[in-house]
């Protein structure tokens, strides 16, 4: 049995393995699609390596709306197959694949015109519930009167909201989930190499037989041999196809989506809210004791590595939310902002090699090379299965079928029982029941590894800051088990302090650095450099915040 632990020692071994072993599959990209593809291939018994230049989920997969959903708006486009597929994935994740991370969340769909809206939306939500099939983990939708709405969501304006329909979807911390999929792949033998960028392809005649990978820390080039290279590079796909001299059958456009994060007190509601906007929908999503509100949909041509929310994005979100909310949301309420890039796929007219579905596209632009892009977070497992099915055709010998529909990700095993033992675990560990619940929802049964760390060093059981639930052991564990290698990895993705804490968590940088520096064997200079690098990112966010300030001043003058 292999180990799911991603730590500095495993990082060294991964780079060594890239240089010395021959792989069946080399996956480019450590977003949810790449992590899913590595897991799919490894669990078929294939020898797999994954390379990612920055961090797991550093691209779009940490910046989504964090909903595991069928997509209500696809119903209006009559794309029932797509909705059904996503809903079935949702049910599987909530019940068996990742119940510790993927949680049900209730939404209200506010109604305005009494009879017309209720009939139309009610029929849509009934269909949404039916399409998930027989496995039904989440409750059926429910009609609410105006009085019910005023009790459940006093924030909705009574003068224009005449009632609502309550329905269920699910939500996930996307960055943690992607990291846990990668750890599951490691447990099935996949080599996960972070800080490793694919620079070019190695060819034998017209067949791709591997790739040249840059170790981004030491700047060494490593030649990796592989039976097939599988590219899952999201919005980097066009750039890489071009760099590799490949003519792909599709193009990827980038569309930016921004979100704002607000304190719980800003919106009085027990449930989330979905609002229809002129172009799409806007979600008001509960996030612990906070709210995430978004998103936007605008064409983007800037730096893929650092999409930032600008003044227009925030204006749009506030204006759409304030159509129905009372009291109105204000600029000063905003705690955090983040933006991500949707990889939107369009097919090239002259391509014969592309198999296009409404949501994602798989392609084989060269022998020994396949790629995938598009889709949505919810259907990552299906995407992974599709691309590895195509990759399997490039390998000699029989490749087994995908088994990921029955393969829980690490931490899922035994989670249901642990939830029932919270008081017992709290008593034995000396932590509060609230902390145990917090840990179970982030680590599942891997909580035992966190508790072991605290047993060895009780100071790790203390909270990092009194304002948020994270404890010091989580910061330590991010490096000792979850592959984090920088302050940014810990603040932005292993935890979500980057948008949950004031000022992007700047006041916590020294405490975080103190905990992780010894594990990473950092010199003082390396520690300061990691803090500086995060501050640059946070400063860029602040530039957006200053724009907000100007806006506030304009409005109040």
- Contact residues: ligand FAD, CB under 6 A: 28-34, 51-54, 58-61, 63-67, 197-198, 232-236, 240, 257, 295, 340-343, 375-378
What six digits make up the tokens of 336? Answer: 């955090």
Q: Which is nearer to ligand FAD, 232 or 501 (CB)?
A: 232
Q: Which is nearer to ligand FAD, 163 or 375 (CB)?
A: 375
Shortest distance, CB of residue 519 to ligand FAD, whole angstroms? 23
Q: Which is nearer to ligand FAD, 163 or 257 (CB)?
A: 257
Q: Which is nearer to ligand FAD, 67 or 191 (CB)?
A: 67
**Contact indicator for 524, 550 with CB cutoff of 8 Å:** no
For β-strands 272-276 and 290-294, DSSP reports them as unpaired
Residue with tokens 């949301």: 329
Shortest distance, CB of residue 86 to ligand FAD, whole angstroms? 7
Give the C-alpha separation, 444 to 409, whole Å. Answer: 10
Q: Which is nearer to ligand FAD, 337 or 513 (CB)?
A: 337
Give the C-alpha separation, 408 to 469, whole Å. Answer: 26
Shortest distance, CB of residue 43 to ligand FAD, whole angstroms? 18
For β-strands 355-356 and 336-347, DSSP reports them as unpaired
Q: Which is nearer to ligand FAD, 63 or 176 (CB)?
A: 63
Cis peptide before 327 (omega within 30 of 0): yes
Residue 161 has φ and ψ, to the nearest 5°, of -100, 115
Give the C-alpha separation, 505 to 534, whole Å. Answer: 10
Shortest distance, CB of residue 179 to ligand FAD, whole angstroms? 12
Shortest distance, CB of residue 67 to ligand FAD, whole angstroms? 3
Shortest distance, CB of residue 255 to ligand FAD, whole angstroms? 7
**Contact indicator for 492, 536 with CB cutoff of 8 Å:** no
Q: Which is nearer to ligand FAD, 30 or 411 (CB)?
A: 30
Considering only CA atoms, which of 84, 106, 124 is closest in space to residue 171? 106
Shortest distance, CB of residue 134 to ligand FAD, whole angstroms? 22
| Largest interatomic CA distance in the chain | 73
Give the C-alpha separation, 35 to 178, whole Å. Answer: 7
Considering only CA atoms, which of 127, 160, 130 is closest in space to residue 146? 160
Q: Which is nearer to ligand FAD, 6 or 440 (CB)?
A: 6
Shortest distance, CB of residue 345 to ligand FAD, whole angstroms? 10
Shortest distance, CB of residue 3 to ligand FAD, whole angstroms? 23
**Contact indicator for 266, 273 with CB cutoff of 8 Å:** no
Shortest distance, CB of residue 258 to ligand FAD, whole angstroms? 7
Residue 341 has φ and ψ, to the nearest 5°, of -115, 120
What Å distances lie between residue 91 and 40, 95, 169, 199, 378, CA to CA?
19, 6, 9, 39, 11
Q: Say how far residue 185 (Cα) sits from the centre of its chain.
A: 17
- Return the SS3 of 329: coil
In sequence order, what E strands does 174-234 have? 191-194, 196-204, 207-215, 220-231
Q: Which is nearer to ligand FAD, 29 or 99 (CB)?
A: 29
Q: Which is nearer to ligand FAD, 10 or 60 (CB)?
A: 60
- Return the SS3 of 475: helix
Q: Which is nearer to ligand FAD, 71 or 411 (CB)?
A: 71
Give the C-alpha separation, 484 to 470, whole Å. Answer: 16
In the beta sheet, which residues pair with residue 252? 345
Shortest distance, CB of residue 470 to ligand FAD, whole angstroms? 23
**Contact indicator for 146, 134 with CB cutoff of 8 Å:** no
Which helix (H) or strand (E) segment is 416 a member of?
A: helix 415-419
What Å distances lie between residue 393 and 78, 136, 227, 371, CA to CA?
33, 35, 10, 13
Shortest distance, CB of residue 173 to ligand FAD, whole angstroms? 12
Q: Which is nearer to ligand FAD, 32 or 464 (CB)?
A: 32
């Amino acid at each position: 049995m292999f180990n799911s632990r991603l730590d500095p020692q495993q990082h060294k071994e991964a780079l060594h393995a890239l240089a010395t072993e021959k792989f069946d599959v080399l996956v480019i990209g450590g977003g949810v699609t790449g992590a899913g593809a590595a897991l799919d291939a490894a669990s078929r018994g294939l020898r797999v390596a994954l390379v990612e230049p920055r961090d797991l989920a550093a691209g779009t997969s940490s910046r989504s709306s964090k909903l595991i959903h069928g997509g209500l708006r696809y119903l209006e486009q009559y794309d029932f197959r797509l909705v059904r597929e996503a809903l079935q994935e949702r049910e599987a994740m909530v019940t068996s694949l990742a119940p510790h991370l993927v949680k049900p969340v209730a939404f209200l769909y506010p109604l305005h015109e009494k009879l017309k809206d209720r009939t139309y939306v009610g029929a849509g939500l009934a269909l949404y519930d039916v399409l998930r099939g027989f496995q039904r983990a989440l409750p059926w939708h429910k009609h609410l009167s105006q009085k019910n709405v005023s009790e459940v969501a006093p924030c909705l304006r009574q003068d224009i909201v005449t009632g609502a329909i309550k329905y269920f979807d699910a939500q996930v911390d996307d960055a943690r989930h992607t990291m846990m999929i990668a750890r599951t792949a490691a447990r099935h033998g996949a080599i996960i190499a972070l800080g490793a960028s694919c620079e070019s392809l190695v060819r034998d005649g017209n067949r791709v037989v591997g790739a040249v990978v840059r170790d981004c820390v030491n700047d060494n080039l490593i030649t990796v041999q592989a039976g097939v290279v599988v590219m899952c590079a999201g919005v980097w796909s066009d750039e890489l196809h071009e760099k590799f001299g490949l003519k792909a059958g599709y193009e990827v456009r980038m569309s930016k989506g921004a979100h704002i994060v607000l304190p719980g007190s800003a919106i009085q509601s027990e449930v989330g809210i979905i609002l229809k906007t002129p172009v799409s929908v806007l979600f008001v999503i509960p996030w612990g004791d906070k709210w995430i509100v978004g998103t936007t949909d605008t064409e983007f041509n800037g730096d893929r590595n650092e999409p930032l929310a600008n003044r227009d994005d925030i204006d749009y979100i506030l204006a759409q939310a304030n159509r129905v909310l009372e009291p109105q949301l204000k600029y000063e309420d905003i705690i955090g902002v983040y933006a991500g890039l949707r990889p939107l796929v369009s097919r090239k007219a002259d391509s014969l090699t592309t198999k296009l579905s409404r949501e994602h596209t798989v392609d084989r632009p060269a022998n020994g090379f396949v790629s995938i892009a598009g889709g949505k977070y919810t259907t990552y497992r299906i995407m992974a299965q599709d691309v590895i099915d195509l990759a399997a055709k490039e390998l000699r010998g029989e490749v087994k079928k995908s088994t990921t529909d029955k393969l829980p990700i690490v931490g899922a095993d035994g989670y249901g029982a642990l939830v029932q033992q919270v008081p017992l675990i709290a008593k034995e560990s000396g932590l509060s029941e609230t902390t145990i619940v917090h840990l179970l929802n982030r680590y599942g049964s891997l909580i035992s590894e966190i508790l072991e760390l605290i047993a060895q060093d009780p100071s790790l059981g203390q909270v990092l800051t009194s304002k948020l639930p994270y404890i010091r052991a989580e910061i330590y564990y991010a490096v000792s088990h979850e592959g984090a290698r920088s302050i940014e990895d810990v603040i932005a993705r292993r935890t979500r302090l980057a948008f949950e804490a004031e000022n992007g968590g700047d006041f916590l940088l020294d405490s975080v650095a103190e905990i992780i520096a010894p594990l990473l064997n950092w010199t003082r200079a390396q520690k300061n450099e990691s803090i500086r690098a995060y501050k640059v990112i946070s400063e860029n966010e602040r530039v957006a915040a200053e724009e907000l300030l100007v806006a506030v001043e304009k409005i109040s003058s």
